[in-house]
Amino acid sequence: MQKKINTKSISPNEAKHVPVLLQEAIEGLNLKEGAVALDATLGVGGHTKEIATRIGHKGTIIGIDADSVAITRAKDTLSNFGFKGEIKFFNTNFRNLDSVLKEAGVEKIDAALFDLGLSSPQIEVSGRGFTFKQEEPLVMTFAEEPKEDEVTALEVVNTWSEETLTLIISSYGEERFAKRIAKAIVESRELGPITTTSQLSKIIEEAIPYVARKKQKIHPATRTFQGIRMAVNDEVGALTEALPKAFGALNSHGRMAIISFHSIEDRIVKRYFQEKGKEGTAKIITKRPLIASEEETHENPKSRSAKLRIIEKI
Ligand SMILES: C[S@@+](CC[C@H](N)C(=O)[O-])C[C@H]1O[C@@H](n2cnc3c(N)ncnc32)[C@H](O)[C@@H]1O
């Protein structure tokens, strides 16, 4: 019988991150007691907690997050929950998951979960410039303290060419006014550096024609901020590198579940899964991506764009 998961019980103080497609992803991973599971995107530990419930005290979790604050939150979630199995945390990009598994002394895994993008606390309280609703510095890195050689939003906005800005805002941001916005950013930075979210948001807003702006249901800066964030963290590159590494590490009958929020990411996952299906090395469990129910989208509007795909290694 299917065990119903109560998502509302997940957090009293985790800045209200509600795990998306929780039931579907956890059921889809087909976890057994004593399994070894990789959570490549710990976030606040919402999915991990359910993984822990399924694999029990003989199970092992390898948890990754590029954000050290997320690791702390996930640790809290699991210690409050009283998980007695083994758990190893790695504060790194999931594109390095091969080295992570090596360091953890784990050769094969039974399940891998990727829940892409950002958690609610990152957007709302990290102060790293993911939101245009507050005055924040332009950082937008997953890592809390970006290293000196790491790209930040400040660098993207103030030094990348108009052509590259147009490209990332239109492809990652899916913003139809990308060209106008990129031009406005370049014109503005000629007068002085763009250093805060409010400054950037205002430039974007003014670059979008008034009539189009009035018709939009979302804030005019939403898409551009998304495009810049995805470029800063090379999110598409990281996913493309991580998929074969995770699949390679799966045991026979092991499953991988990916929740994505962007059409480019969903396409990468879909094509990779199709390739494995054609090769005869995997069975695709979700012929079509699973999406959130009406009830879930009502309770958690962020789940509206989520797509879940699951594959099983043969
Ligand atoms: C949507 S949240 C995950 C939420 C989590 N499933 C939960 O229920 O609490 C995505 C998390 O993945 C992390 N992340 C995104 N891309 C990453 C990458 N390439 N490498 C490592 N962590 C990444 C983010 O820092 C964020 O904490």
Residue holding tokens 């929020």?
261
CA of 168 from ligand 1 middle (Å) equals 21
Given the CA of residue 92, which atom of ligand 1 is nearest to it?
A: 21
pLDDT score of 12: 37
State the span(s) of the chain assigned CATH 3.40.50.150.
7-121+235-313
CA 136 to chain centre: 21
Q: Is the CB of 296 under 6 A from ligand 1?
A: no
The helix/strand/coil state of 64 is strand
Between 10-19, 101-110, 246-255, the lowest mean confidence (pLDDT) is in 10-19
The lowest-confidence range among 17-21, 80-84, 288-292 is: 80-84
Strand partners, 312: 255, 283
Distance 186 CA to ligand 1 centre (A): 31
The residue whose CB lies within 8 Å of the most ligand 1 atoms, and thus the one to mutate among 5, 23, 65, is 65
| pLDDT at 312 exceeding the cut of 90 | yes
Percent of the chain with pLDDT over 70: 95
Q: How far is the CA of 78 from the centre of ligand 1 (A)?
A: 16
- 35/45 Cα distance (integer angstroms): 18
Measured on CA atoms in the order 98, 101, 105, 111, is the torsion positive or negative? negative
| Res. 140: pLDDT tops 50 | yes
User: Measured in angstroms, how far is the CA atom of residue 79 from the centroid of ligand 1?
Assistant: 19
> Pairing mode, if any, of strands 307-313 and 282-284?
antiparallel
The pair phi, psi for residue 163, each rounded to 5°, is -65, -45
| pTM (predicted TM-score) | 0.93
Q: How many CA atoms lie within 13 A of 64 on its CB side?
A: 25
Mean per-residue pLDDT, 85-104 = 97
Q: How far apart are CA 42 and CA 63, in angstroms?
A: 6
The secondary structure element, H or E, covering residue 88 is: strand 86-90
> Cα of 213 to ligand 1 centre, how many Å?
31
What's the confidence (pLDDT) of residue 15? Answer: 57
Q: What is the pLDDT of residue 9?
A: 36
Contacts of 175 (CB under 8 A, 6+ apart): 169, 181, 223, 224, 227
**Is 139's C-beta closer than 6 angstroms to any atom of ligand 1?**
no
**Choices 3.90.1170.50, 3.30.9.10, 1.10.10.10, 1.10.150.170: CATH for 152-232:** 1.10.150.170
Residues of the chain with CATH 1.10.150.170: 152-232
* pLDDT beyond 80 at 156: yes
If pLDDT is split at 50, 70 and 90, which confidence band does 82 have?
confident
Q: Given a cut of 90, is residue 253 above it in pLDDT?
A: yes
CATH superfamily ID and name for 7-121+235-313: Vaccinia Virus protein VP39 (3.40.50.150)
End-to-end CA distance of the chain: 25
Q: Is 265 close to ligand 1, i.e. is its CB under 6 Å away?
A: no
